Structure 1
Amino acid sequence: MNRNVKKYDIVIVGGGPAGLAAAVAAKDSGSDSILIVEREQELGGILNQCIHNGFGLHTFKEELTGPEYAARLISQVKDRKIEYLLNTTVIDISSDKKITALNKEFGIFDIQAKAIVLAMGCRERSRGALNIPGYRPAGIYSAGTAQRLVNIEGLMPGREIVILGSGDIGLIMARRLTLEGAIVKVVAELMPYSGGLKRNIVQCLNDFDIPLKLSHTVVDIEGKERVTAVTIAEVDSHNTPIPGTEKRYVCDTLLLSCGLIPENELSVGMGVEINPVSNGPKVNECLETSVSGVFAAGNVLHVHDLVDYVSSEAGKAGKQAAEYAVRLDVKRTGRDIPLELEGGIRYSVPSTINPRYINEDLVVRFRVGAVMNNKTVNVYVNGNRIQKKTRKVMAPGEMEEIVLKADVLKGYQSMNQLKICIEEA
C-alpha cells in the first residue's frame, strides 16, 4: 500500500532538550523546513519532571528548574514557528532517511528527510538487567519513575526507602523523598565511587545525613505482595558479595538508580555504528554518525551530567544538519582520524575527526574509568604534544572535556595520529 510521504529538509527525532536545541540551531542556520517528532504529549522531555534547580547556568546564565529550562527552549521553538508532532512514535528509520511514524491523527505515515538528528535520549537500566534475587513484589521502582510519580502525579512511592545506585537521579530522589516525609535509610553503590555529581552527593545525601555505602549491592529482597525488607552486602574487587557483611533494612520501597542506556534501537535498525562503551553512535567532528546525513546529540549519543552540555552539543548537531541539507550529496574528502585514548579514558565524543572540516575550536568530551588525582590530559598529533590540561580530580560521574584549537589542528593537514592521554601531572 502506498502512503503519502511528507518531506522535510531536517527531521529531529525527540522533543527533549537535545531535540529542541537542535531545531533552534538548524532554524537559525537558515533551514525553514524542520520537523520535530515527539512520542510524549508535550515537548520538554525528562526536564518536565525535574523540578529541582541547578539547570541553565551555562546556557542562560541563571539557575533554573527543569520545567523552566524546558519552557525557555519551547518558547524559542514556537517563536521560530518550527513544526512539531506530539504523541507520535517513530517505528522505523531507513538508511535512506525515510522515517515511518505512527499517531492517532495520521495512522502510519512516512516522512522523507534530507538530514536527520537523533535525539531520543536514554532510559533507565531495569531490575531485570541487574539480576537481583527475590520475588517481584510491589514497591520496586526506577528512580525516574519515582520522580515522575512524586513531581507530576503527586503520589508517594513509599515511606521507608532503600536506593540502589548513586546515579544523579537516585541522589536527587533521596533528597526529594526526604523532603516529602519519607525515610531514606541508605544509598548502596556497587562501584567504589559514586556515579553522580559531587555536588549532588553533598546537597542530597550529606546535608540530610543519608548514608552512602560504596562497594555494596542488594543481595536479597523480601516480600511477596509488597517489599518488606532489603539486604545489602559489601562486594569484593570482582563485585562478588562478601559473606558476613550483610545488613538488613526494613523498608517498603526499593529505588533503582543503576545507570542510563541511550535509546538506540532506531539507530541500530538503520545501520548506525554504535560505540560499545558509551552505547551511543560513533560520530565525527560534525556529530555525524556512520550513516551520511544522520547526526546525533544529547543522551542518545552519550549520557551527560548537565543539560547545558546537551543543549550546546545539540546546537552543533542542528547547525551541521542544516549545512548538510544544503550541500546534500557532496562527499567528504580526506581521511577520518580515529581518536586514540590512553590512560584510563573510556570513550570520547567525537570518535573521529577530519582536519579538513575543523572550522572552529573542537570540544572533545570524555569520561574516565576510575577516580584520578593530580593528572594531566595531554593531546598528541603525530607524536607531538599540542595541548595539555591539568586536573586535580577526575571521576567517572563527572564528564570531562578538552577544547582542541582549530588553528592548531588546521596546521596538521597531514595528520595520521590523534591521541588523548591521561598522564601524571
Structure 2
Amino acid sequence: MRKIKCVIIGGGSAGLSAALSLVKQGIEDILILERDQELGGILNQCIHNGFGLHTFNEELSGPSYAERYIQMLETTKVKVLLNTMVIKITQDRIIEYTNPNEGYVQIQADSIILAMGCRERTRGAISIPGYRPAGIWTAGTAQRYLNLEGYLCGKRVFILGSGDIGLIMARRMTLEGAIVCGVAELQPYSNGLPRNIKQCLEDFNIPLYLSHTITDIKGIDRVEQITINQVNSKFEPIENTEKVFDVDTVLLSVGLIPENALSEEIEIKIHSKTKGPLVNESYMTSVPGIFACGNVLHVHDLVDFVSHEASKTGLAVARYLTHDLDMDCGYPCSSGQGIGYVVPMQVQPKNIEINLEILFRVNKPSKDTTILVKDGQRIIKEVKKRHLNPSEMEKIILTKDEISNITEGIQVEVAQ
C-alpha cells in the first residue's frame, strides 16, 4: 500500500492553502484528492468581486483568487488527483478513493487534512409546505448553473433566507434581467454580511422581509405562486399577515452545513452547533493525525479567513509530522452567555508558540458590549465591541502568557 506524508481531501481554498503551508515547512510528500474536474471548489462559480482583500490586498473574483493559489501550487511537488471521490477513511488513516483512471485505490497517510467544504440546506431540510414543482433551487446550485453553465434559472424570483449566496444571487439575477420580487428571512435580522445587504438588495430596491417565511408554494409543473407570512418569536406563522407573489422560481439560501459524512463514519466528534469536527488549538480532530479546516470545520464569512485558518492547519500538521506537538488534550474552550460557538474547542497551552486565536459567533445582534474571556471565574481578557452580529465571525487573540496559567478552561461570553 502506497504511503504518503499528508493527504488533503478537498482542493478548494482550504485544501490549497493548507498544502502550500506544508510545503513552506519542508513537507512535500502531499496528495490532494479533489472530486471535481478542476481545483478551486466553490470559488469557480463565484464570479463576483470581493475576494482577496485580506490575503492579497486587492479585490479579486472567486476564480481569480483560486488561480493565484493554483499557480503557486504548480511550482511545488504537490500531487493532485482530480475527478477523484474519497469513499472511506479509517481511524488509522487508510484512505479509499476511486477515479476513472485508477479505479479503486487504498493509500496510507501519516496525516490527513479534511477540507471538503460545506453543502446547502435543501427544501427537505426546512420542510416548506406545498407541492413539489420545478423551479425550486438552492441558491448555490442556481449560481453554478448561471455562472458556469450559462442557464438563467427563472424570470420572476423569490428568495428564502438572507445568506450571502442568496443575496449575491438576488443581484446577479437582476443584472441578468430577472425580476427578484423579494427576500424573506425567518430571523428578525439578516444572516448576510452588511455590505451584501447594501450592495445586493438596497442598491437594487429589492425588499427584505425580516421575520417572514414561505408558508405555501403553488404550481403543478412549475412554481406559479408563493405565500409568505410574518412569524412570531417562536417562528410560528401569524394569521392574516399573508403576502402573495406570482413567481416562477424560488431560491433557497437557508444555511450551509459542513460536509462531514466521512468524518462521522469514523466517529470523529462533531460539534452540535457548527456541525463540524471538534478540534484543538492545532485543528486536530478527536482522531489523532486527522485535522480539519475551512468550511468543513465551521462556515466562514470570507474565503480569506478560510485560507488563513488552513495555513495555520498546515503549520500544525508539519509540527505533528515532526513529533513537535504535545498530544495531551489540554483544557476545554467553550461558549458561554450570548455566544453561539467558539473554535477551537480544546486548548493545550504547551502547543501555543506566540498566541491563540479564538473565533466565535454571537447568538444575536448587539451594540456597545464587552466580550469576556474567563478561566472559571477569573477574567483573562475583556474586549470592547461596538457591533456584534451573528452573520459576522469575530476573533479574540490571547497571548501565550495570558493562557499559561489556565486551571479550569477557557470560556468566551458576552458580558451581562
TM-score, scaled relative to structure 2:
0.98
1:3-402 map, 5 Å: 5-327=1-323, 332-333=327-328, 336-402=330-396
Post-superposition Cα deviations, 1:28-67, rounded to whole Å, max 9, x if no partner, equal: 1111200000000000000000011111011111111101
Partner of residue 422, structure 1: 414
C-alpha displacement of 1:77: 1.1
C-alpha displacement of 1:416: 2.3
How far, CA to CA, are the matches of 1:98 and 1:269 in structure 2? Answer: 13
Letter in 1 for 2:229: A
> Secondary structure of the residue that 1:283 maps to in structure 2?
coil
C-alpha displacement of 1:270: 1.4
C-alpha displacement of 1:421: 1.7
Instruction: Name segments (4+ residues, structure 1) moved above 6 Å.
Output: none
> Secondary structure of the residue that 1:327 maps to in structure 2?
coil
- Is 1:355–1:415's contact at 8 Å kept on the other side of the alignment? no
C-alpha displacement of 1:382: 4.7
Post-superposition Cα deviations, 1:282-332, rounded to whole Å, max 9, x if no partner, equal: 00000110000111000000000000000000011111112212229x762
How far, CA to CA, are the matches of 1:6 and 1:204 in structure 2? Answer: 49
> Secondary structure of the residue that 2:148 maps to in structure 1?
helix
> Secondary structure of the residue that 2:238 maps to in structure 1?
coil
> Secondary structure of the residue that 2:276 maps to in structure 1?
coil
Letter in 2 for 1:51: I
Post-superposition Cα deviations, 1:324-344, rounded to whole Å, max 9, x if no partner, equal: 12229x7624x5211132221
% of aligned pairs identical? 52
How far, CA to CA, are the matches of 1:94 and 1:417 in structure 2? Answer: 31
Partner of residue 404, structure 1: 398
> Secondary structure of the residue that 2:26 maps to in structure 1?
coil
> Secondary structure of the residue that 2:272 maps to in structure 1?
coil
> Secondary structure of the residue that 1:308 maps to in structure 2?
helix
Letter in 2 for 1:363: E
> Secondary structure of the residue that 1:365 maps to in structure 2?
strand
> Secondary structure of the residue that 1:332 maps to in structure 2?
coil
> Secondary structure of the residue that 1:138 maps to in structure 2?
coil
Cα RMSD after superposing both structures: 1.2
C-alpha displacement of 1:133: 1.2
Post-superposition Cα deviations, 1:114-153, rounded to whole Å, max 9, x if no partner, equal: 0000000000001111111111111110000110111111
> Secondary structure of the residue that 1:378 maps to in structure 2?
strand
C-alpha displacement of 1:269: 0.9
Letter in 1 for 2:182: V
Letter in 2 for 1:274: I
How far, CA to CA, are the matches of 2:345 and 2:326 in structure 1? Answer: 19
How far, CA to CA, are the matches of 1:105 and 1:250 in structure 2? Answer: 49
- Is 1:115–1:322's contact at 8 Å kept on the other side of the alignment? no
Post-superposition Cα deviations, 1:218-249, rounded to whole Å, max 9, x if no partner, equal: 01111010001111110111111111001110
C-alpha displacement of 1:183: 0.5
How far, CA to CA, are the matches of 2:50 and 2:234 in structure 1? Answer: 36
How far, CA to CA, are the matches of 2:127 and 2:309 in structure 1? Answer: 35
How far, CA to CA, are the matches of 2:387 and 2:341 in structure 1? Answer: 18
C-alpha displacement of 1:259: 0.2
How far, CA to CA, are the matches of 2:185 and 2:235 in structure 1? Answer: 11
> Secondary structure of the residue that 2:415 maps to in structure 1?
strand
How far, CA to CA, are the matches of 1:417 and 1:78 in structure 2? Answer: 43
Unaligned runs of 5+ in 1: none
Unaligned runs of 5+ in 2: none
> Secondary structure of the residue that 2:354 maps to in structure 1?
coil
How far, CA to CA, are the matches of 1:321 and 1:85 in structure 2? Answer: 21
How far, CA to CA, are the matches of 1:379 and 1:134 in structure 2? Answer: 47
How far, CA to CA, are the matches of 1:384 and 1:240 in structure 2? Answer: 41
- Is 2:334–2:342's contact at 8 Å kept on the other side of the alignment? no
- Is 2:156–2:180's contact at 8 Å kept on the other side of the alignment? yes
How far, CA to CA, are the matches of 2:377 and 2:409 in structure 1? Answer: 7
- Is 2:326–2:350's contact at 8 Å kept on the other side of the alignment? no
